Chain A
């Protein structure tokens, strides 16, 4: 199976920017030239050894790649006895997988001769990573963040400002991630001559979904080798949380040709799909366009975007990367969801059995692993992308578990 998989190449896209019927480029005409410029720049970079060397050097000396894998037997005892291996993207500089994409896009920004980089952020991880890359490379940086998120992630706002970025709290609409993206797009359409919009996930107009996936594919390339070396075989299932879906595409991509490996995305079930307060797009949504791409979208009968909900700001988004929509409809990947309750149980369990505090986003994948492990039983082998660390979530977790002393809230 391994040798056969090595010989396979990914099925080419039917047309540029489309994953089956999903993806595309639904944008104001004013942005089309910038998207064409970006597509050309990233294609040139992809075959330019100088770019590849520079990115590899940064990953080795700055990001901390390759990230390690950690087998977690005490956690796995709660997963039906299946073996569980974590890919430790939480150990990257800035604390999540986001830095993989941001460093690459910052290099591309410079190659395009642009001097300013803007980003949206939900939990703050992508904003912090972008502010970090901007500091490293001497770029001006503005980060758009929903007002609600600036309040629940105040420490990350401080981190970005300390790194020299301007943070703009967006008060329009639901004042969360989707509104931050709207505002970033408005900035971009106004300042596109000097500014690159560093989208933080595998959504948005072509070429973003494909490009961001490619910049994260290193996760799956490393993990596949590491699991083979550790266990002598491929995993039965690869799990990742899915908001926009960048960490999931990053770890899935290399495994897509491995037909025996299940690819499992875990969405935010929030307070339960029946409650309406969730971000389980595949459990409830229908195809639609948001932020430049056709994908599954939480929308009402008139096509107005519905508000999503999750305990983790990073998964609180009403649409999902178009390639996930295609992987789902084609049957190559499967998607389930974990509710806030399940997520907090998995979060607590990993902390107490393994001494690893995961991001709440990543805890969704852990909740999925507990289910999948039980389905597979003791012979199973599960690889989980631990996409980020949980330091940023201490406030939320402490409140959830009642660990905040009176007066310190």
Chain B
């Protein structure tokens, strides 16, 4: 349990280190239970070994309204295979033990069902640093604001290109750790180009707060990672990793492909500010 104590590095440490190294952080997402619970945990270790600074441990959910087909299908597979919310905490622990900073990512109802306080306690006990909440806005987050404060967890809310100045103020005021900026209007999934809106959104967020800003949605290649690393504090990659893990062939080969993609992305976040 030693890593659970306050000495465990958190998101602030990650961003401080990345700043010192003159690069962006790499954040990788995978849902627990895809293709199996055991394989998903092995895959998260691969993300850490391949260079992810932060791993988003996803909770599969029956109705993921901001996810595109790749992540939806992975969640369907995970749930059909019997993945449970309890498995998330074991995965968080595994990421922590592998040496990266784990945060959980979940739609809100699984947290409500467990109880916001109990969920926060369990996540903190497993070594989690925070929680990304794609369908919870701060306006509805009273219980979570209190529970996260009690358990020292970071609150990562999302902003979008549609966010008005008022909304950016509301969201960033409630946020800690970093701000998750959606690069484009839409659902998760790889895109050939990341919207030019992304850079503008990062600037708008920086105008209202001092938190690091990560860009997610649509990032899949080293070149995109480098492009975003030029102006954002973190590059967030999800469905491209999920697609690679869910590809053809033996699991061992797919894990190697995942390692290779992660290494490419890790190189990308180091190139952007050259």
Contact B63 A173, beta carbon cutoff 8 Å = yes
Q: How far is the CA of A32 from the CA of B171 in the complex (A)?
A: 11
Q: List which A268-314 residues lie within 8 A (CB) of chain B.
A: 287-292, 297, 299, 301-305
Determine whether B193 belongs to the interface, using a CB cutoff of 8 Å to chain A. Answer: no
Most buried by B among A25, A291, A302: A302
Determine whether A5 belongs to the interface, using a CB cutoff of 8 Å to chain B. Answer: no
Contact B134 A28, beta carbon cutoff 8 Å = yes
Q: List which A155-182 residues lie within 8 A (CB) of chain B.
A: 172-173, 178-179, 182
Contact A192 B108, beta carbon cutoff 8 Å = no
The 8 closest A-B pairs by CB, nearest first: A303-B113, A30-B160, A303-B110, A190-B186, A303-B109, A304-B62, A185-B65, A305-B62
Contact B163 A33, beta carbon cutoff 8 Å = yes
Q: Which of B76, B112, B113, B160 contacts A29 (CB 8 A)?
A: B160
Determine whether A51 belongs to the interface, using a CB cutoff of 8 Å to chain B. Answer: no
Q: How far is the CB of A238 from chain B (nearest CB, A)?
A: 32
Determine whether B72 belongs to the interface, using a CB cutoff of 8 Å to chain A. Answer: yes
Residue of A nearest to B187 (CB): A186
Most buried by A among B68, B72, B110, B140: B140
Contact A28 B113, beta carbon cutoff 8 Å = no
Q: How far is the CA of A233 from the CA of B237 in the complex (A)?
A: 65
Most buried by A among B79, B112, B161, B182: B112
Do A289 and B109 contact each other (CB < 8 Å), given the known contacts A173-B62, A186-B187? yes
Q: CB-CB < 8 A to B134: which residues of A?
A: 28
Determine whether B34 belongs to the interface, using a CB cutoff of 8 Å to chain A. Answer: no
Determine whether B89 belongs to the interface, using a CB cutoff of 8 Å to chain A. Answer: no
Task: Sample 5 A-B pairs with CB under 8 A, ordered by A number.
Answer: A189-B65, A291-B65, A299-B109, A301-B113, A304-B61
Q: List which A327-386 residues lie within 8 A (CB) of chain B.
A: none
Q: Which of B84, B112, B185 contacts A192 (CB 8 A)?
A: B185
The A/B interface has a contact count, at CB < 8 Å, of: 111
Residue of A nearest to B86 (CB): A302
Interface 1/0 per residue, B241-257 and A, CB below 8 Å? 00000000000000000
Contact A29 B157, beta carbon cutoff 8 Å = yes
Contact B114 A28, beta carbon cutoff 8 Å = no
Interface 1/0 per residue, A1-32 and B, CB below 8 Å? 00000000000000000000000111111111
Q: How far is the CA of A28 from the CA of B112 in the complex (A)?
A: 17
Contact B182 A30, beta carbon cutoff 8 Å = yes
Do A302 and B187 contact each other (CB < 8 Å), given the known contacts A29-B159, A172-B72? no
Q: How far is the CB of B65 from chain A (nearest CB, A)?
A: 4
Contact B163 A29, beta carbon cutoff 8 Å = yes
Contact A26 B187, beta carbon cutoff 8 Å = no
Q: How far is the CB of A18 from chain B (nearest CB, A)?
A: 10
Contact B187 A27, beta carbon cutoff 8 Å = no
Do A33 and B164 contact each other (CB < 8 Å), given the known contacts A289-B109, A299-B109, A301-B113? yes
Q: CB-CB < 8 A to A172: which residues of B?
A: 69, 72, 76
Contact B162 A30, beta carbon cutoff 8 Å = yes
Q: CB-CB < 8 A to A193: which residues of B?
A: 162, 185
Interface residue tally of chain A, by bracket?
Answer: 35 or more
Do A30 and B63 contact each other (CB < 8 Å), given the known contacts A24-B140, A173-B76? no
Interface 1/0 per residue, B183-199 and A, CB below 8 Å? 00111000000000000
Contact A30 B65, beta carbon cutoff 8 Å = no
Q: Which of B113, B140, B159 contacts A302 (CB 8 A)?
A: B113
Contact B66 A289, beta carbon cutoff 8 Å = no
Q: How far is the CB of A199 from chain B (nearest CB, A)?
A: 13
Contact A288 B109, beta carbon cutoff 8 Å = yes
Determine whether B236 belongs to the interface, using a CB cutoff of 8 Å to chain A. Answer: no
Do A28 and B66 contact each other (CB < 8 Å), given the known contacts A189-B186, A190-B186, A304-B79? yes
Q: CB-CB < 8 A to A107: which residues of B?
A: none
Most buried by B among A29, A173, A191, A287: A29
Contact A304 B137, beta carbon cutoff 8 Å = no
Contact A32 B187, beta carbon cutoff 8 Å = no
Q: CB-CB < 8 A to B114: which residues of A?
A: 302-303
Q: List which B127-168 residues lie within 8 A (CB) of chain A.
A: 134-137, 139-140, 157-164, 167
Q: How far is the CA of A164 from the CA of B108 in the complex (A)?
A: 37
Q: How far is the CA of A178 from the CA of B64 in the complex (A)?
A: 11
Q: List which B175-211 residues lie within 8 A (CB) of chain A.
A: 182, 185-187
Contact A29 B137, beta carbon cutoff 8 Å = yes
Determine whether A112 belongs to the interface, using a CB cutoff of 8 Å to chain B. Answer: no
Q: How far is the CA of A27 from the CA of B109 in the complex (A)?
A: 12
Q: List which B107-124 residues lie within 8 A (CB) of chain A.
A: 108-114
Determine whether B85 belongs to the interface, using a CB cutoff of 8 Å to chain A. Answer: yes
Q: How far is the CA of A348 from the CA of B272 in the complex (A)?
A: 71
Q: CB-CB < 8 A to B137: which residues of A?
A: 25-27, 29, 32
Determine whether A68 belongs to the interface, using a CB cutoff of 8 Å to chain B. Answer: no
Contact B158 A29, beta carbon cutoff 8 Å = yes
Q: Which of A24, A189, A290, A303 contacts B185 (CB 8 A)?
A: A189
Contact B159 A305, beta carbon cutoff 8 Å = no
Do A26 and B158 contact each other (CB < 8 Å), given the known contacts A173-B63, A303-B109? no
Q: List which B69-127 residues lie within 8 A (CB) of chain A.
A: 69, 72, 76, 79, 84-85, 108-114
Contact A26 B140, beta carbon cutoff 8 Å = yes
Determine whether A34 belongs to the interface, using a CB cutoff of 8 Å to chain B. Answer: yes
Q: How far is the CA of A156 from the CA of B84 in the complex (A)?
A: 39
Do A289 and B112 contact each other (CB < 8 Å), given the known contacts A33-B163, A192-B162, A304-B62? yes
Q: How far is the CA of A291 from the CA of B186 in the complex (A)?
A: 16
Residue of A nearest to B113 (CB): A303
Q: List which A15-59 residues lie within 8 A (CB) of chain B.
A: 24-34
Q: How far is the CB of A28 from chain B (nearest CB, A)?
A: 5
Q: How far is the CA of A72 from the CA of B110 in the complex (A)?
A: 47
Q: How far is the CA of A28 from the CA of B62 in the complex (A)?
A: 16
Q: How far is the CA of A297 from the CA of B113 in the complex (A)?
A: 11
Q: How far is the CB of A168 from chain B (nearest CB, A)?
A: 13
Q: How far is the CB of B156 from chain A (nearest CB, A)?
A: 12
Q: How far is the CB of A319 from chain B (nearest CB, A)?
A: 10
